[in-house]
A = this chain, B = another copy of it.
Amino acid sequence: MKVGIINVTGYAGIELARLLLQHPHVTLTSVTGRGEAGKRLPDVFPHLYRLPLEITPELGTVDLAFSALPHKASAEAVAPLVRQGVKVVDISADFRLPDVQEYEQWYGVKHAAPELLKEAVYGLTELHRQKIGKCRLVANPGCYPTSAILGLTPAVDNGLIEPDIIVDSKSGVSGAGRALSIGTHYSEVNENLSAYSLGGHRHLPEIVNELKVRKAGFQPRVTFLPHLVPMTRGILSSCYATLKPGALPEGKKGIQEVQRLYGDFYKGETFVRVTEAPPETKHTWGNNLCLIYPTVDVRTNRLIVISCIDNLVKGAAGQAIQNMNLMLGFPEAAGLQAAAVYP
């Protein structure tokens, strides 16, 4: 089958192209990108030398399109495609928040295709597999929400935690995209560490929305704080929540029990692994894994969950392909099996 990438020139788009090269069942036949239109893909990205496609202003005929456009522009671009029957995985934020008002508040723009919000499926594959398989428009989750939601959902579903939740996330710099800014200038970022968006980050409502639909009456109060770390790829989210009284046995038994519950929750998953030791982002470098380590701070009876992903793979392009596989009827892991690159 033929697939295309709208706006291939950002990091999510480029990563899609890299991963699709290895896909056994689809062929990337069309890539767009206004700034570089007219050039061949390898002229701009030499590592894609085996993909000698021309970057065009408009998408050619494809069975499924990935949109890696910024928000607003993305909804504008994909709405006509969906209407024409092209399946779409939208990597932008445009269809992630079901409530159009919430979207317009956080993003400060008018939604370009609110009529599609109802049918769009939030593409956290492990949690919405069935709907994704049947839909024609997937809202691919944000990178931070992917790590946080996968890390917290088993605790919510098992009724382990109070609604007060803190998500302290740390991301590599590629999460800020390929656009130029002083905040991604090498000399400014290297040997530096900072928190940002202290007034509220747009990924917060995604996290809240997904957690609150898990359990009737669960009204999460989430503080989400992202940090910029001097590395290219990787997100590690440290999630904290108070355990409900009696939710777990005391002491080490509680730790074992929470690990068992998480293990059961993700049993059989190809891309979510509950680890026996605290994971490191490097163990996901370049591949589609989410590594999750739940434990208990027995001194304070608090749940701690560490969740690691590669922000460009499970946090963007990889999960998009995982969703595409479901939408097109391929095995969910097709084309996504390469091991992380270590060291």
A interface with B by C-beta (< 8 Å): 11, 14, 18, 21-22, 45-50, 164, 166, 168, 170, 172-174, 178, 180-182, 184-196, 198-200, 204, 221-223, 225, 227, 229-234, 236, 238, 240, 242, 273, 275, 277-287, 291, 293, 295, 297, 299-300, 302, 304, 306, 308, 337-343
Contact = CB atoms under 8 A, between A and B. Distances in A.
Contacts of A242: 164
Contacts of A190: 173, 186, 190-191, 230-232, 343
Identical chains bound together, number: 4
Contacts of A240: 166, 168, 223, 240
Given A283-B46, A339-B50, A234 B185 contact: no
B225 A195 contact: no
A198 B303 CA distance: 11
A189 B295 CA distance: 23
B170 A227 contact: yes
A9 to B, nearest CB: 11
A278 B11 contact: no
B196 A170 contact: no
Given A184-B187, A200-B299, A343 B170 contact: no
Given A231-B191, A299-B200, A339-B47, A182 B180 contact: yes
Contact of A184 (B185, B283, B285): B185
Contacts of A204: 299
Contact of A174 (B182, B302, B308, B343): B343
Q: List the 8 closest pairs (A to B, CB-CB), nearest first.
A: A192-B282, A47-B340, A187-B343, A180-B180, A194-B280, A168-B168, A173-B186, A186-B189
23 contacts: A11-B343, A46-B275, A46-B277, A46-B280, A47-B282, A173-B190, A174-B187, A174-B343, A190-B231, A191-B191, A192-B231, A192-B234, A193-B231, A193-B280, A195-B236, A196-B278, A198-B297, A223-B297, A223-B299, A225-B238, A225-B304, A240-B240, A338-B338
A282 to B, nearest CB: 4
A293 B340 CA distance: 29
Contacts of A291: 46
A114 B275 CA distance: 41
A175 B219 CA distance: 39
Contact of A194 (B187, B232, B278, B339): B278
A240 B223 CA distance: 9
A287 B21 CA distance: 14
Contacts of A234: 191-193
Contacts of A236: 193-195, 227
